A and B are shown apart, each in its own frame.
Chain A
Amino acid sequence: MSMFEDVTRALARQLNPGDDLTPIDSLFDLRCFSPLSLVLRKRKRTWFWGARYVCSNYTLLDVLEPGSSPSDPTDSGNFSFKNMLDVQVQGLVEVPKTVKVKETEGLSRSSTLEIQTLSVAPLALENLRKERKLSADHPFLKEMRERGENLYVVMEVVETLQEVTLERAGKANTNFSLPSFALLGLQGSVNHKEGVTIPKGCVLVYRVKQLMINGEDKWEIPHICNDSMKTFNPSEKPGEEKLVHTL
């Protein structure tokens, strides 16, 4: 497991024993899991190794019809949730704002993460739902509807407040040496990173809720979901293609 994964998993476990916080696997996913991002669930869910989500590169706002309130983003480069949607920025209530991650697993003593939660404010979301319908012709939605995919919206994230470099304190989390790997013919295949720099504003863990679409353009994000719920009503699914895949 990479050191970054070590950190995000430890954080998810520390903040949320209830297990509905999902840790980010890679720094490459940095931009994929912002509040209101649309994601797809990757696999059959099991608690034992957790659900994982795949980046769609779209946000909920991308698939809504343009609307005046909250104002339409014109410059996605300078996208600001605060201005647009009154996304609630709040410090952690039940856990300290600064969370020390895993002294015991070989991280150095100075390895602390300053984090904050960003969550979508329920009132702002409700207003958005009332004011902006889905853009039914959006190619992404069309594709997802055709494929019968379920879509999830990132509702809450925990992100870093400061750039931080985490380093192992001399002891790797594994107790075997690289020469041992050479013996196994796996030389060069193991990349033990001794440190990782996590930039400011990097999402580490996130929480999602399922997007439900009723008819062509009505949407909602229910508080309680279960596995039998489908984002798209199956009866609206167009004729299924009959293809044969060979593995």
Chain B
Amino acid sequence: TVPLGEMHKDFKTLKKEVQRETQEVEKLSPVGQSSLLTSLSHLLGKKKELQDLEQKLEGALRKGQEVTLEAHPKDALLSNDTMVAILYFLGALTELSEEQQKLLVKSLEKKILPVQLKLVENILEQNFLQDKEGVFPLQPDLLSSLGEEELILTEALVGLSGLEVQRSGPQYTWNPDTRHNLCALYAGLSLLHLLSRES
């Protein structure tokens, strides 16, 4: 881990960090990944339970205990690196509000995670280093594939980060205070997108 003060803080760094951790999760067998997705889908929206899992996993990691994911036909044993990566994403997911977590599950069901991931990536790419509020145009094709309900869902998901997306325009108002939450949302979307690719 790079000491906080020395880290170059930009979206590229976040992207690399998230990529590195997703690669670790990717090492899980397909059934392991599917089992992880099922577990997360049940826990998202229950912040306390998600935090409990986070603590349990951290404890197991520190004590060198084994952790397995229930899967058929064979349970998947988690390596230390995979546990660390899962913890990274649990950290991101618990940063989100319960409502955002529930919206993620809905988005998963509706298979619109790739669009949402692209949207958040695009917003962060453009504004990460912006320390002032401002109105920015939204790439018109980013949301064009979404139906009305999916659009509402997506607006609500980023809206709960504190970012206002306006359809008329379309545009959004960047607020630097939303950066932490959007970064966590980006990581959460990346993980869920990865785990749901096959299904």
Q: Inside 8 A of B7's CB, which chain A residues have their CB?
A: 47
Contact with B along A218-246 (1 / 0, CB 8 A): 00000000110000000000001111111
B14 within 8 Å of A (CB atoms): yes
Q: Are A48 and B17 in contact (CB under 8 A)?
A: yes
A86 within 8 Å of B (CB atoms): no
| Interchain nearest-CB distance for B69 vs A (Å) | 5
| Interchain nearest-CB distance for B150 vs A (Å) | 10
| Interchain nearest-CB distance for B122 vs A (Å) | 17
Q: Inside 8 A of B59's CB, which chain A residues have their CB?
A: 147
Q: Inside 8 A of A6's CB, which chain B residues have their CB?
A: 162, 177
Q: Are A174 and B4 in contact (CB under 8 A)?
A: no
**A9→B97 CA distance, assembly (Å):** 14
Q: Are A45 and B1 in contact (CB under 8 A)?
A: yes
| Interchain nearest-CB distance for B62 vs A (Å) | 4
Q: Are B68 and A245 in contact (CB under 8 A)?
A: yes
Q: Inside 8 A of B160's CB, which chain A residues have their CB?
A: 1, 174
Q: Inside 8 A of A104's CB, which chain B residues have their CB?
A: 133, 175
A: residues with CB less than 8 A from B are 1-2, 6, 9-10, 13, 18-20, 42-50, 52, 54, 102, 104-105, 147-149, 173-176, 180-181, 183-186, 189-190, 226-227, 240-247
Q: Inside 8 A of B56's CB, which chain A residues have their CB?
A: 245
Q: Are B62 and A226 in contact (CB under 8 A)?
A: no
B58 within 8 Å of A (CB atoms): yes
B: residues with CB less than 8 A from A are 1, 3-5, 7, 9, 14, 17, 35-36, 39, 45, 51, 53-60, 62-70, 75, 84, 87-88, 90-92, 94-95, 97-99, 102-103, 106, 133, 149, 152-153, 155-156, 159-162, 164-166, 175-177, 180-181, 183-184, 187
Q: Are B162 and A1 in contact (CB under 8 A)?
A: yes
**A1→B99 CA distance, assembly (Å):** 9
Q: Are A42 and B91 in contact (CB under 8 A)?
A: yes
Number of A-B contacts (CB under 8 A): 150
Q: Are B68 and A246 in contact (CB under 8 A)?
A: yes
Q: Are B106 and A189 in contact (CB under 8 A)?
A: no
Interface of chain B: mostly helix, strand, loop or mixed: helix
Please judge, given known A-B contacts A50-B180, A175-B166, whether A19 and B4 are in contact too, CB under 8 Å: yes
Q: A44 touches which one: B45, B75, B91, B153 (CB < 8 A)?
A: B91
Q: Are B156 and A181 in contact (CB under 8 A)?
A: yes
**A2→B51 CA distance, assembly (Å):** 18
Q: Are B65 and A1 in contact (CB under 8 A)?
A: no
**A226→B2 CA distance, assembly (Å):** 9
**A185→B62 CA distance, assembly (Å):** 40
